[in-house]
């Protein structure tokens, strides 16, 4: 699907196709072409009339690259990743966004719908988007800003998951808790590995390193950088929390098990004491006065109860049980 927005003189025109003629007839205009899962013929505009570098085109159309920004003087090529929390599958998914940013044009490419692009398109359709008057760099800022804003609900979802697992660890850990913790650790590591290079990219965009980004726009990219700083900071904190949860789990499981062992051993010790008593009165000595007592048998039961109780009390007092 291709959407072409041409903005000049404060008016945004929208086309469902791209023809070089449309591009040429408005020399001072700003052009935004959004390619969503484009057909081969739609994607061909990257080669002609834009003549982007073959490597950039290849990276753009291929799948799953790591985030990066490449400078080709007249334009820059950016790969970033949007994320979205997929509730049913209980994990977050990433979506690659490829951007060609020139002085008077912006070309975005993605394999499926993205919320940040959709909302920008809606504003364009209503002729409401201020960035289109300010330049391609401001438009790129707006889209990236939206995209990274959408990281925060996912961060919140991950934080919620961590807290749920933490409660589980302290209240009722079981076999699956461990799986959940390992999944969490993997998720958090993945998040960190996506975000750290993106922070670096946005840092470069905000530093005025590229000619296609004006100093005025660079200040705005600094704002995205602040967000990414918080995102990366949070992802490191989550990593610590996930590791701490794992440690707490291992410590908790080991303690519960050891407590159980201790109690079983206490029970065994009490039974052993009772066995000694019964053993005593099972001996066959000819001269054992107790055996002849009228209530000897019942006194043994009392003795056994007393010994059990006494041992339990003593163990408890020693904090052994």
Hey, which residues between 95 and 124 contact a copy of itself (CB under 8 A)? none
Check residue 185 for interaction with a copy of itself (CB under 8 A). yes
Q: Which of 39, 118, 163, 258 binds a copy of itself (CB under 8 A)?
A: 258
Distance between CA 172 and CA 99 in Å, rounded? 48
User: Please, what is the end-to-end C-alpha distance for the chain in angstroms?
Assistant: 70
Distance between CA 89 and CA 276 in Å, rounded? 60
Stretch that binds a copy of itself, among 21-29, 100-108, 113-121, 248-256 (CB under 8 A): 248-256
CB closer to a copy of itself, 156 vs 259? 259
Contacts to a copy of itself from residues 144-183, by CB under 8 A: 178, 182
Bridge partners of 118? none
Distance between CA 65 and CA 74 in Å, rounded? 22
CB closer to a copy of itself, 26 vs 273? 273
Stretch that binds a copy of itself, among 4-12, 33-41, 95-103, 259-267 (CB under 8 A): 259-267
Distance between CA 44 and CA 51 in Å, rounded? 10
Minimum CB–partner distance for residue 95 and a copy of itself (Å): 18
Minimum CB–partner distance for residue 74 and a copy of itself (Å): 13
CB closer to a copy of itself, 11 vs 53? 53
Check residue 66 for interaction with a copy of itself (CB under 8 A). yes
Check residue 253 for interaction with a copy of itself (CB under 8 A). yes
Radius of gyration of the chain (CA): 35
Minimum CB–partner distance for residue 84 and a copy of itself (Å): 22
Distance between CA 231 and CA 150 in Å, rounded? 11
Distance between CA 59 and CA 48 in Å, rounded? 17
Minimum CB–partner distance for residue 153 and a copy of itself (Å): 17
Q: Which of 42, 59, 91, 159 binds a copy of itself (CB under 8 A)?
A: 59
Distance between CA 296 and CA 13 in Å, rounded? 108
Check residue 279 for interaction with a copy of itself (CB under 8 A). yes
Check residue 290 for interaction with a copy of itself (CB under 8 A). yes
Q: Is 48 exposed, middle or buried (0-12, 13-18, 19+ CB in 10 A)?
A: exposed
Minimum CB–partner distance for residue 206 and a copy of itself (Å): 10
Contact by Cβ (8 Å): 98, 109: yes
């Amino acid at each position: 699907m291709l959407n072409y927005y041409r903005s000049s003189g404060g008016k945004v025109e929208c086309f469902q196709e791209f023809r070089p003629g449309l591009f040429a007839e408005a020399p001072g205009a700003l052009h935004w072409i959004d390619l969503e899962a484009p057909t081969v013929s739609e994607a061909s505009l990257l080669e002609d009339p834009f003549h982007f570098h073959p490597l950039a085109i290849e990276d753009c159309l291929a799948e799953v690259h790591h985030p990066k920004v490449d400078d080709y003087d007249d334009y820059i090529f950016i790969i970033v990743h949007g994320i979205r929390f997929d509730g049913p599958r209980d994990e977050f998914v990433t979506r690659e966004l490829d951007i060609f940013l020139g002085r008077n044009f912006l070309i975005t490419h993605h394999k499926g719908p993205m919320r940040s692009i959709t909302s920008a398109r809606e504003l364009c359709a209503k002729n409401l988007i201020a960035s289109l008057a300010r330049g391609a760099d401001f438009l790129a800022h707006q889209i990236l800003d939206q995209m990274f804003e959408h990281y925060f609900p996912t961060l919140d979802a991950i934080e919620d998951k961590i807290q749920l697992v933490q409660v589980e660890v302290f209240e009722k850990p079981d076999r699956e808790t461990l799986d959940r913790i390992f999944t969490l650790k993997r998720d958090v590591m993945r998040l960190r590995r996506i975000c750290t290079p993106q922070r670096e990219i946005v840092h470069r965009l905000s530093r005025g390193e590229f000619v296609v980004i004006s100093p005025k726009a660079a200040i705005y990219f600094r704002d995205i950088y602040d967000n990414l700083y918080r995102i990366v900071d949070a992802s490191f904190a989550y990593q610590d929390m996930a590791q701490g949860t794992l440690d707490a789990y291992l410590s908790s499981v080991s303690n519960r098990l050891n407590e159980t062992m201790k109690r079983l051993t206490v029970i065994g010790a009490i039974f052993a004491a009772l066995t000694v008593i019964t053993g005593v009165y099972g001996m066959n000595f000819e001269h054992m006065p107790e055996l002849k007592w009228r209530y000897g048998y019942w006194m043994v039961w009392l003795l056994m109860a007393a010994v059990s109780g006494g041992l339990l009390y003593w163990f408890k007092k020693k904090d052994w049980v």
